[in-house]
Amino acid sequence: MSAKIGKAQLVLSAACAVLILAIAYELMAPIPTYAVPSVHVAGAVVLPALPGAFVPPSENAFASVTDRPLFDISRKKYVPSSTPAEDKAAPPPLPNLLLVGVILGSDRKLAMLKPSEAALAMSYAVGDQIGGWQVTEIDPDHIVLKSGATEHEITMDANKAPQVTLPSASSTRQTTSRNDQTGQQNTP
């Protein structure tokens, strides 16, 4: 087996040798000492005097702003129009809801309520609003809605359809046997 060294291999070998010599020189060369030049300071720097502490204007200075608010078209002082008679107004109408189910978790309670106009039931937690009423209590068989001082309870039993009595098996057999005797077919 003969090993021929090509031109590219010779060039690469030479480059490696040069790099090895450069690394060896960097490792073995003495580190020169550096002298830090001294800086001559002409004189002491004088800083300007600091301004005094900020003193905000008194609240009376802003009286015109509170009396004439910028973001109101009329620029008149806001006066709440709520009166005690309005607070005792009748609660909003009770929404027509069906209690479909209740989910009781260790840290959260949900009521599955289906409004009559909706196709699907939605989940509500304690504190959620439904048509002006607030869910205040969720129990396994009922929920409590509150609006002002008025409370309303929706029970799970309110959704149950009335029981339909099915004909007994013996009356069904008698009808079938009569149809068979007359030659008529019994079709469902």
Task: Tell me the domains of the chain and their CATH numbers.
Answer: 97-159 (2.30.30.830)
Residues 39-72 have pLDDT tens digits of 877 777 788 888 888 888 888 888 877 777 777 7
Residue 145 burial (10 A CB sphere; 0-12, 13-18, 19+): buried
pLDDT of 86 over the 80 cut: no
Element containing residue 25 per DSSP (H, E): helix 7-28
Mean per-residue pLDDT, 20-44: 86
**β-strand pairing of 150-155 with 142-147:** antiparallel
Residue 34 or 144, more confident: 144
pLDDT of amino acid 172: 52
**What is the predicted pLDDT for the residue at 39?**
82
Two structure tokens written together for 120: 């699907």
Give me 1's structure tokens: 């087996």
Find out whether 113 and 101 touch, Cβ atoms under 8 Å. Answer: no
Give the rounded percent of residues in the chain with a pLDDT score beyond 90.
22
Buried b (16+ CB within 10 A) or exposed e, 8-19: eeeeeeeeeeee
**Which strands form 109-115's sheet, in the order they lie side by side?**
97-104, 109-115, 122-125
For residue 89, the 8-state DSSP code is: P
**What pairing do the DSSP bridges indicate for beta strands 97-104 and 109-115?**
antiparallel
CA 148 from chain center: how many Å?
A: 28
Please give the span between the terminal C-alpha atoms of the chain, in angstroms, as a whole number: 98
Per-position b or e across 49-86, b if 16+ CB within 10 A of its CB: eeeeeeeeeeeeeeeeeeeeeeeeeeeeeeeeeeeeee
User: CA 117, 119, 125, 130: dihedral to nearest 10 degrees?
Assistant: -10
